[in-house]
A = this chain, B = another copy of it.
Amino acid sequence: MADKITSRSEDYSQWYIDLVRSAKLADYADVKGCMVIRPNGYAIWEKMQAALDRMFKETGHVNAYFPLFIPESFIAKEAEHIEGFAPECAVVTHGGGQELAEKLYVRPTSETIIWSSYKKWIQSYRDLPLLINQWANVVRWEMRTRLFLRTTEFLWQEGHTAHATHEEAQEEVLRMINVYKTFAEEYMALPVILGKKSDSEKFAGALETFCIEAMMQDGKALQAGTSHDLGQNFAKAFDCKFQTHEKTLEYVWATSWGVSTRLIGALIMAHSDDRGLVLPPRLATRQVVIIPILKGDKESVLHHADNIAAALTKAGISAFVDSSEQNSPGWKFAEYELQGIPLRLELGPRDIKNGMCVVARRDTLEKTEIALDDRLVMSINEILNDIQQDMFDAALRFRQERTVQVNNYDDFKVAVEKGFVIAHWDGTVETEAKIKEETKATIRVLPQEDDYCDTYGINEPGTCIYSGKPSARKVVFAKAY
C-alpha cells in the first residue's frame, strides 16, 4: 500500500518521485543512473508500444534489429554526431576476457550502425524507400537522474528511413511527427505543440529537427517526440549512393525519429494528482475495477460483480473484480486511485436490490449512479470515452492558461517561471544562449501549425525581447525537463 505522497503544491519534484515509487512504476537500480521499470510501469509502455507499432505499420514501416555495439570509428564518421554523442557514451573496452582492438560504444542512437548496413542494402532506386523501425534500449550517461525522464539507460523506438529525394524524406519527417502528435493527443490525452527546433536544439547531425512539446503541471515543457531531416549527412559519411532511374549515382536522403520511455514520465506529470496516478483509459491495462461490498449475501454480490466484469470484458473493456477479504473497500479505493485505474464501480447488496450502483471517475473523482441493466456496458463505455476526452480538454485548458505572450524581457523573466512564454526572438544563437544562461529557459519550439500560429500571432514580425533587433516571428520559450 501507498507510502505517503508529498503534495504537488508542497514539492512538485518530490511528488513525482513519491508517486512513481508508491504506484510501483519504477525504482532506482543498484547501478548508477539506471532504473528498473516495474510491472505497473512496463504495462503502460506495452500499451504505448502496441499503439505506436500499429501506427508505424499502417504508415508502411517494418521492424528490424541492429547491434547494441558501435565501433568507435563509426561514431566518428559524422562530425557533428560524434561531437554531440561521444561524451555521453558508455564504452566497452574488454570482451571475452581480452582487451579489444577497437573500443565499442554502447549505442546512444543508431544512425551510424544502421547506415553501415544501409550502404550494403541500397544499390538502386528500386531499393528505396527503406522504412525501418527498431525497438531497443539505448545508453546516454547521466549524472543527475530522474526516473523515466533522465536515466543512463532507457527504452525507445528509433525509425530510420532512406529515400531517393529530399522532398520525400521531408514528407516522411512530417508524417512521423504527426503520428507522434496523434498518439500524444489521442492516446496520452496530451495536447502538444508541433514545430521545429532552433539550430542549437536540433539533433547532432540533422539539417532540421521537428518536435512535439507538451506542458507539465508545473508549467515546464517536456519534449515528447522528435523527427529529424538528416539530409545526406549519414549517406555521405557511409558513402551510401544509389543509381537513379536516369542511371546517375546520388547520395541517399535520410530521416530518423523516436520516442522513449520518457513518455511515461510525461503521462504522469501531465495528468496525475496527489492521490496517485491518473491514466487515460486508452493507455490503461485495467480500465475498470469492480469493488464488491461484501455484506449480507456475499455470494450474490460476487456473482453480480463477476457477471458485470464478464460483460465488460466481452465488450472489449478491461475490467476486474477485487474480491479479496483481507483489505477493506476503503483500502481498495485508495489503492486503485494510486494505481490510476480510470473507473471504479462499487457494488453492494443494496445496490443490487435497487438496480443502481455508484461509479467513481479517477480523473475528476466524481461519483455518479448508473443503472444495473442492459445499458450498463454502454454507460461505462461512454464514461471511459468522456474521461479520455475530458483529460485532454483539461490539459489543453491548463496549457492555455499557463501560456502568456510578452513584449519585454522583464515580463519574460517573471512569466517563464510559470509556464510557456511566447515572445519575439531575433533568430540568433547568441540571444538564445544569453536567455538560457540568465533564465534557464530555452526555445522549445518554432510552431508550425496554422491553428496555433494564428492563435498566438506566431508569424507576425516584431522586435526581439532581448536584443531589441528585428524579429521575423515569435517562438515558444520555457524551462524544460
Contact = CB atoms under 8 A, between A and B. Distances in A.
A104 B66 CA distance: 22
A31 B70 contact: yes
A29 B106 contact: no
A64 interface: yes
Interface string A77-103: 000000000011111111111000000
Interface string A127-148: 0000010001101011100000
Which of A38, A87, A88, A95: most chain B Cβ within 10 A? Answer: A95
Contacts of A139: 68
Nearest to A45: B65
A136 B37 CA distance: 13
A155 interface: yes
Contact of A104 (B31, B45, B95, B143): B31
What is the oligomeric copy number? 2
Contact of A94 (B35, B43, B67, B91): B91
A42 B69 contact: no
A27 B96 contact: no
A153 interface: yes
B152 A95 contact: yes
A74 interface: yes
Interface in A56-72: 62-71
Interface of A: 27, 29-31, 34-39, 41-43, 45-46, 62-71, 74, 87-97, 104, 106, 113, 116-117, 120, 132, 136-137, 139, 141-143, 152-153, 155
B94 A65 contact: no
**Nearest 10 pairs of A and B residues by beta carbon:** A96-B141, A34-B67, A39-B62, A37-B65, A91-B94, A90-B95, A93-B93, A29-B67, A95-B141, A30-B116
A63 B46 contact: yes
Contact of A95 (B45, B91, B155): B91
29 contacts: A29-B66, A30-B116, A31-B104, A34-B67, A34-B68, A34-B69, A36-B64, A36-B66, A38-B64, A39-B63, A39-B64, A41-B64, A42-B65, A43-B62, A65-B155, A67-B153, A68-B106, A69-B153, A87-B96, A90-B104, A91-B92, A91-B93, A91-B94, A92-B92, A92-B106, A95-B141, A96-B142, A136-B137, A137-B137
B42 A62 contact: yes
